[in-house]
Structure 1
Amino acid sequence: MRQGNFPNVTTCLARCNVVALFNSIIKRQLWDRVYIVKAIYYFIIFINIIISLVTTKQPIQYHMEDIEINGRQQQVHTLEVNMNDKRVSMENVLSLGAIYGFEETSTMVADAGAEIGVNGMFYTIYGHHIGLMIKDEELITLARSETPSIAILEDNRVYIGPISTTVAIQREGLTLPVQTVNDAAFENTWVLYSRIYGRTTRITRNSINYVIQDNKVIKKSLTDEPIDIPENGYVLCRVSQEPAQDDVLKVGDVVTIKTTYQPEIGQVKEAFQSGGWLVKDGKNVAKNYEPYIGNTLIPNPRTIIGVTADNQLVVKVIDGRQEESYGISGKEAAELMLGSNCIQAVYLDGGASSTMVFNGKVVNQPSSNEERKVAHSIIFRTKGTSFANVFAHEGVVKK
């Protein structure tokens, strides 16, 4: 049985003043009734603390199972996260803290000051995540229609389902639709860039650019060179053969960036795009093919995520391509999530990317025998505690 870190006993004793009290008794030889009563009192408090820590179910739990699915051995690593506990948060992290690039999941978890996480979204060969991302309530990239998204709402409710996004730049008498946010610029489309994209827009084609800071246009530039993106601002860009013809704003204009989401699910704290449905409304809806994955009938390592009816988040990493763990198909992944009482569940990136970090260590066995560097990961935190607040156990279950 593998267990998470228990709180340091000496620390607990010190907090209860037990160590200090007994040292005082020994040094002074004050064996009178008052000191004995105090010692018993603090010792009872200490015992109650230990019992509470051991018996109280913690908000984030990890376990690993050796199971058999359709005659094949599998190792399944599971995080169960009680999102009803307001101390718990789930957050997006990007490699190197920005769009583009690659890092190990364990590095991203550590750099974020966390101890728990898994690999996340699908991404391009350049390390740009694919689809919707909302981070710290700010829209980073627009949603795509091919797959559902996962969102954490303001009250910590988990939403898994379709999300569409629209962005517009508005000033008095003008609404300018934005077609792309923090992604490649296609000709004759408006693109909005923020600093998470990088230091510059990376555009070396004819374009018109408006630098926006504090809701005001502070600079206009017609150029074929990249434009610096301000630390706390934006660049609105349009690539075209005749960029001067697209001049619609002037320096000094007061503008607002209006973002809307459909359906109206409430204030979104964090969100990201998935790789496709596994479980929808309590039913196995896994397809034989997904656009980001390909053929899902082939057994492979998987990272999958789902939510139960009572707002418990379930994350699983299933190892694959090895003797101890063969890997699973999409339909088998859906059945696993149904077995964990998920009413909605979706794919995350899988294959050699599948990685789970718990207590700062990689707990699964990536199929390439080392961590693959990825563009995006998901981390979990439990706020307000100074000791390890997660416990692990390892079970063996045969199916």
Structure 2
Amino acid sequence: MSRRTLAGGLAIAAAITLTTLPAIAEQASVRFPSAKFPLGSRSVPTKTMTNVARGIDLHTVRAGSATDGYTVTILMPSGRDYGTLSTAEATLAEVEATGETPSLQKVIRPSVADAPSQTVYMVRVGLWSLKDKTKAEKAAKKLKEAGLKVKVDYLGDDGLDTTGPWDAKVAMIDSKTFRGSYVASLGTSVAKREAVSSMAKARKALVGVNGGFFNIHTSPALRGEPVGASVVGGRLLSEAIPGRSAVVLRGRSAKITELETSVTAVSQDGERAEVKGVNRAAAVDELVLYTEEYGAKTPTGGSDVVLDANGKVVGVRTSGAAVPKGKRVLHGNGLASDWLGLHAWQDYTIEVVTKIVDLRTKKTVKLTPDLNVIAGGVGLVRNGKVKITAKRDGHDSMNMILRRHPRTLLGTTKNGSLILATMDGRQPGVTVGANFVEAAQFMRWLGAVHAINLDGGGSTAMVVGKKVVNKPADGSERAVGDALLVLPD
């Protein structure tokens, strides 16, 4: 065998291709599909169904079998496990110099709706079965002692051809018989992360899943902040990232779309200023709005103007304090602080004008008490076709598009029913999760004509009643930024 194929006879496909699925027929109600499982060898899945409440069925779906094993991947000088052909060949030579027999693997990340395909190369050593991980770890240790940077990889995580297995939970909520409602929850505050089960318990939810991505790049005390639009009970609690996917919830209707938000402070003297953010850390010269749901102190090093429910300035203070109950705070630093000093005097009125626009319809979304919004991670399906908008939604990397991870997925059917699904992953031999293409195929198979990816990985969780029904990748439920809750009537 050539040294440029994986040792041990491992055969790995170079790319994923989109599986052609049958057209989705109009349905009188949401029903679990009778077609074969859309991934792997397309076998007949095993499934069990439990009726949660009127109009809500929970399905446990299992398919595939474990045939993937382990290999040792050599890291490139960049620290990544892949690189260009020339970089990979240089790395290959380094491994050969240690006396080992490496292999060069070509990997093609598939194209998506807004990003072209990408070809990269990996350098790997050896192949071991699922039960022989310790042997792979010993080989990795030997390579490390030779001065190489390496890691042990389970091949099911790669995102290339696999036989599975897959383990998913699917909640199907029938628009014709369900009489409850859908809401968003940020838990006790925007800044604080909280478990889905805790948020579900507080609202006595029938079903709950984790929501969108939260900001892991801010201060640890503020990492519950959603990345993208968040509306709870008609109150904008986090601004949108323009054009990114979101799900708009109103009563028992759910709509997947893209949103844009704007917030403007208008002083009674007629001067206007753009409010750059809502309930997040402020950058230089930014004006940021904080609501009582924030749950943290405003940033230091600027000025705060406290507004009552009618927009009257009831306090002017140095920043760095909590938001009083029933009040809002406009915070500014630098030029924004100067604007507040000139146009937000004690007893002035500051009108805070908030606007949300649905970018598909170009219409304004009214901020009524029954409105809730959760930011999606990536668009997957639109009008019944796979349409993965990874670049627009900020996730056009090899890791996010090709690699398999646990997924939390949301879809809507032609008749307005809602599908919530979790695909567990990162559990070798038990369940492999899905990449974006597979997640899109899975949601189409379930009957979704529109679908998005929510946060995933260790955040993936589904709660039914008081119980977490999936198996989170971290081994236990993770605290997250927000959740989508299905409430009884």
Q: TM-score normalized by structure 1?
A: 0.75
- 2:362 aligned with 1:260: no
Residue type matched to 1:73 in 2?
P
Q: Say which of 326, 331, 335 aligns to 2:437.
A: 331
Asked if 1:114 corresponds to 2:208, the answer is no
Partner Cα separation in structure 2 for residue 260 and residue 93 of structure 1: 21
> Structure 1 residues 84, 218: CA separation in 2 closer, same or farther (over 3 Å shift)?
farther
Alignment partner, residue 31 of structure 2: none
* Structure-2 residue corresponding to 1:168: 264
In structure 2, the partner of 1:50 is: none
- 1:150-161 to 2 correspondence within 5 Å? 150-153=247-250, 156-161=252-257
Q: After superposing the two structures, state which structure 1 stretch, 213-222 or 158-167, moved more.
A: 213-222
Displacement after TM superposition at 1:171 (Å): 4.1
> How far off its partner does 1:77 sit?
0.6
The structure 2 residue matched to 1:239, chosen from 325, 333, 336, is 333
- For 2:247 and 2:259, how far apart are their aligned partners in 1? 9
Q: What does residue 366 of structure 1 align with?
A: 472
What residue is the counterpart of 2:135 in the other structure?
none
- Tell me the equivalent position of 1:143: 240
The amino acid across from 2:353 in the alignment is: K
| 1:343 to 2:453 alignment | no
What does residue 130 of structure 2 align with? Answer: none
Task: Give the CA deviation at 1:184.
Answer: 1.0
1:176 deviates by 2.8
CA distance in 1 between counterparts of 2:451 and 2:307 reads 39
Q: Deviations over 1:125-175 (max 9, x none)?
A: 223221100000111111003621110136x43221110011112344233
Q: Hey, what's the Cα distance between the residues in 1 that align with 2:433 and 2:259? A: 30
Question: Of 180, 183, 187, which residue of structure 2 is paired with 1:88?
Answer: 180
**For the residues of structure 1 that align with 2:426 and 2:477, how far apart are their CA atoms?**
14
CA contact (8 A) 2:54 2:178 kept: no
SS of the residue corresponding to residue 352 of structure 1 reads helix
Amino acid at match of 2:166: Q
Query: What is the match of residue 41 of structure 2?
Result: none
Q: Retained in 2: the 8 A contact 1:297–1:330?
A: yes
Partner residue of 1:272?
374
Q: Which residue is equivalent to 2:394? A: 291
Closer, same or farther in 2 for the Cα pair 1:234/1:64, shift >3 Å?
A: same
2:459 alignment partner in structure 1: 353
What amino acid is aligned across from residue 287 of structure 2 in structure 1?
A: W
* Residue number among 155, 166, 171 corresponding to 1:79 in the alignment: 171
1:83-115 alpha-carbon deviations (Å, 9 max, x no partner) = 4567321122224x1012333222221133324
Contact 1:122 1:292 in 2 (8 A): no
* CA–CA distance in structure 1, aligned partners of residues 474 and 296 of structure 2: 34
How far the C-alpha of 1:368 sits from its partner, in A, is 2.5
Corresponding residue of 1:321: 426
Matched, 1:58 2:54: yes
Question: For 1:221-246, what per-residue CA distance to the aligned partner results, in whole angstroms no more than 9, with x for missing partners?
Answer: 352x4133121111111111794564
The one-letter amino acid of 1:343's match is V
Alignment-derived partner of residue 343 in structure 2: 248
Q: Report deviation, 1:314.
A: 0.7
Asked if the contact 1:192/1:235 (under 8 Å) is kept, the reply is yes
Closer/same/farther in 2, CA of residues 2 and 161 from structure 1, 3 Å limit: closer
| Whole-Å separation in 1 of the counterparts to 2:193 and 2:353 | 31
Paired amino acid for 1:255: I
Equivalent residue in structure 1 for 2:285, among 171, 188, 192: 188
Give the corresponding residue for 1:382. 488
Identity %: 24
Equivalence for 1:67: 63
Query: SS state of the match for residue 163, structure 1?
Result: strand
What's the offset of the Cα at 1:256?
A: 2.5
Query: CA 1:74–1:259 in 2, change beyond 3 Å: closer, same or farther?
Result: same
Instruction: Report the residue type matching 2:453 in the other structure.
Output: Y
Q: Residue 265 of structure 1: CA displacement?
A: 5.5
User: Do 2:306 and 2:330's aligned partners in 1 also have CA atoms closer than 8 Å?
Assistant: yes
Structure 2, unaligned stretches of length 5 or more? 1-47, 65-160, 217-222
Q: Distance in 2 between matches of 1:242 and 1:366?
A: 43
Cα RMSD (Å) of the superposition? 2.5
Contact 1:218/1:252, CA 8 A, preserved across alignment: yes
* Runs of 5+ unmatched residues, structure 1: 6-56, 384-399
CA distance in structure 2 between the partners assigned to 1:92 and 1:367 by the alignment = 23
Corresponding position of 2:190: 99
Structure 2: how far apart are the matches of 1:213 and 1:158? 32
C-alpha change, 1:242 and 1:342, in structure 2 (3 Å) is: closer
Q: CA deviation at 1:60?
A: 1.9
Q: Report the CA distance shift for 1:228/1:353 in structure 2 as closer, same or farther (over 3 A).
A: closer
- Aligned residues, how many? 327
Q: Is the 8 A contact 1:4 1:359 kept in 2?
A: no
SS in 1 for 2:190: coil
Structure 2-normalised TM-score? 0.62
Match of 1:301 in 2: 406
- The 8 Å contact of residues 84 and 157 in structure 1, kept in 2 or not, is answered as no
Matched residue SS, 2:433: coil
More displaced stretch, 129-138 vs 71-80:
71-80
Which amino acid letter does the alignment assign opposite residue 240 of structure 2? A
Per residue, is there more strand in 1 or in 2? Answer: 1
Secondary structure, aligned partner of 1:167: strand
CA contact (8 A) 2:243 2:259 kept: no
Secondary structure in structure 2 of the residue aligned to 1:338? helix
Aligned-partner Cα distance in 1 for 2:198–2:308: 32
**Structure 1 residues 216 and 104: CA distance shift in structure 2, 3 A:** closer
